[in-house]
Every structure is written in structure tokens, then in C-alpha cells.
Amino acid sequence: MAALGALRTMTSTAGTSYTLIPNQKYRRSNRRSRQRCNILDTDSQSLSTLGYFKTLPLEIFQMVLNYLSVKDISTLSMVSKTISNRLINYISTPSGNRRLLLQDFHNLELPGKREGSYLLEHYKSLGLLLKRCTLLLPTKDRLKYIHKILSEVSCFKLNGCPSPLHCLGLQCYGVFLQILTAGWDELECHRVFNFLCELSNLPRKVQTVVSSKPGSARKLELRIRLYCRSVLLNHWIHRSDSAFWLTRILKPWPMVNQARLLYIIFGPKMIEGPTDETSLKGLADAIKLLYDTEASEWTADDVISLVDELSVVPREWLMENNARLLILSGNNICFTFMASKAVNGRAVELARLMVFLALVCEKDLYCMDWAVKMMQKVCKVFNTPGKRNNFLQCVENAFAHLIMDMLQAVLSGDRDEEDSSFLNLFHLVNTQASFHKEILYLTMGSNSNADRILAAGTQV
């Protein structure tokens, strides 16, 4: 019995020790199993965000993407962060690059497509895709990643394409950037502009052309024109956005260089004779853009000074071209420009400009009463009757001098194939007649006694 009791005691002791040790091991293994469960939970959450794609190997997932349009892929990127990361990896692969970075920029007549519109639409969709894929990244990291993706496309670079006039690359880059940065705040857009300047070395290239003799760096001027217009300016919907980017291009430079740069980007090819309104429209639109309230960094004086500087870039303009640019720039800019000359006592120069405004109205078939009403408005700027009368006398003298100069050119017999000297005289004489006719209409219409006098004369 004693032995049996001892055996029971040993068994209970052994049983106690046996049950204690596994309990301790169980507690330790429980902690480890929890860690393993957390890892498995994380993996399962990551996989669960892939939806049905979690059953596909990565290679098959990327093969599926080849059957989706770029718009569909950009929509897919919004499903989850995990899918977005997979798409970022796909874009970086050689097959993703070949699929997404189309580079048929010089073949504008693609089969079944219309003049490269397919390429532009493709890069709009690509801009939206990369906008969504990089949504959670800081602006600096977004730009670095996007540059890494696009850096191999030579036609996206300022000096990258050997035939820039026949290339759609910069336009595709422009629509891509417009979609990418749409809705970004001003500070982020400043960073984008600085980033682009660093990549393209734009400030140094601008410094080269604005400090050199006009025409001495024509190829570089052309590349700057194409890059600024196609990448930075042409694709914005809202005028405030266009004003922002144009301001970024111009503002770092002194006024004289701003005028030169504005001419490089928008100006017509300078010719010896008058240019047409189509050639000046881009320049006039840019001036109106800076004058509007959307361009908060520009004052009216800034814009008028810029217009004044433009009149000698790249060399002194014909007065007719000056007048045509002012008319295209709109009533407010035209009047403000003329009023500044009136205030500064430049009556002779102002009178000559007034004659050419009337001449442009005659040539381009604008209403002549506009020119008369503009002169009437300018007359009110002169603070004394004497100054106003002097200005009116200067207008008449300007008409007389110009007619005599043109008549002398006709009598000299130096005529070209188009007989332009006689044609110019013809237009100027017609201008003077139409201008004074409108003045008579205005004067007689405002005189309450005129009708009564004429009526009395008729009765007699």
C-alpha cells in the first residue's frame, strides 16, 4: 500500500510537472502564432484588395492589362493602393513602356486615325493614369517618378527632336502635363515649372537668345517658341491657368527681355512691309491675357510698358503694324496705351498713331466710327482746350504729311510688281475721307440746330 501510495505521489508529481511545462510552452508558442497570424492577416488584406486578381500570377496580371485601354487601366488604379502599386511596377517594365509610351510622333497620318489626334488622346489618358497612380506621393516624388518614366522619350525634350516642326512630341507632352497637373494648387505648379526648367535648362537657353543679336540664334529661338507654346501654354482650358504659366515664363526677366521673349514665343515673322491680323493675333491674345484680372501679378502700367517695348523688337515696327496690334488687343489696352502718350505730352506721336489706326480700319474693313470715337475719348485726357486743339491739329498734319510722302513715292516711279506705293496712297486717301465723314456725322448729329438750319434752307 505504501508503495502504491508512493507510486501515486510520483505519478501526480510527474503529472503536475508534465502539465506545467507544456502550459509554459503553450504560452510562448501562442505569442509566436499570433505574430504569424498578424503577418498572414496583412498578406491576406493585401491580397484581398486585389480581388479576383489575387489568384493570378504577376505575369498573367500584366498580360491582362495589355487587353485594357489606358482609360480602363487608370480607372483600375483607383480600386486600391495594392493594385495601384502593381500598376506602377507594370508601367516601369519594358512591356509597359512599349505599350504606354507611344512614340509615333512623326507619322501624323496614322492608319485609321486623324492627324495625330489619336496620340494626343492617348497621352491625355496616360496623364490621368499617372496622376491617379501617384496620388499619394508628395509632389517632388511624383515628378521624379514621372520623369523616370518619360526620360527616354527624346521628343519630349527641348532639344531632343531633330525635326521639331514636323513632330507631335511636345504637344503630347503638353497635354500629358495639363491633365497631370489639373487641379493642383499654385505652389505645386510652381514646383512643376521649376522642375521643368531644371530638366530643359530653359532659363539658360532664354538668357542666350534675349542677350544675343536678333536672328543670330534662330534655331534656338524656334525651339524655345515650340517648347513654351506646346508644353506650357497651348493646352489650358481656363485663362487663369494660361496667365499663370505665361507669367512664370516672363516674370524672371527685365521688361526689355520680357518683350523680346514674348515676341519669340508669339510674334510674327518680321517682314519689311505690313503684316496681317492673323500673324499678330497670338501676340495680341497674350497681351490681353496679361492685362486681364486673371493675371494678378501684372499691373496696367506693366502691360502698357511691355507693348511699348514690343514696338522695337526685334527692330522698330512699322506704325501700321503697331496700330493693328493695338486694335487686336482690344479697346481697353488701346485706349490706355494712347492715354499714356497723351499724359506724357507725346501729341505728335499720338496723332500719327491715330492716323494709322484709321488706316487699319479702312484696310481691314473695321467700322471707321470706332477710330473717331477712340479719338474723341483720347481728347478728354488732355486737361486743357489748348492741348486738345493742338492734338487735333497734329492729326490733320499727320494726314497731310503721310499723303505727301506717299504721293512722292508714286511720282518717283519706283514701283514694285504689286504697285504697292499707289495702293498705299489709294488706301490713305480713302481713309481720310471716311474718317472725316464720320467726324461730320458725329458733329452734325450732336448739333441740335443743324437739322433746323438744313430744314430752313430747304424751305427757302
Measured between alpha carbons, how far is 186 from 105 in angstroms, rounded to an integer?
Answer: 31
pLDDT of residue 418: 61
Residue 124 near residue 176 (C-beta atoms within 8 A): yes
Give average pLDDT by consecutive 10-residue segment, the chain, 460 residues: 42 42 44 44 51 72 86 90 87 89 79 69 95 91 93 93 93 96 94 96 96 90 96 93 95 96 92 87 95 83 95 93 96 96 95 98 95 96 95 97 91 70 92 95 68 45
> DSSP per residue over 240-271, as a string?
HHHHHHHHHHHTTS-HHHHHHHHHHHHPPPP-
Let me know if 206 is exposed, middle or buried by CB neighbors in 10 A (0-12, 13-18, 19+): buried
Measured between alpha carbons, how far is 171 from 156 in angstroms, rounded to an integer?
Answer: 9
Sequence letter at residue 283:
L
Helices (H), 134-268: 139-150, 169-181, 186-200, 202-210, 218-227, 239-250, 255-266
Whole-model pTM: value is 0.81
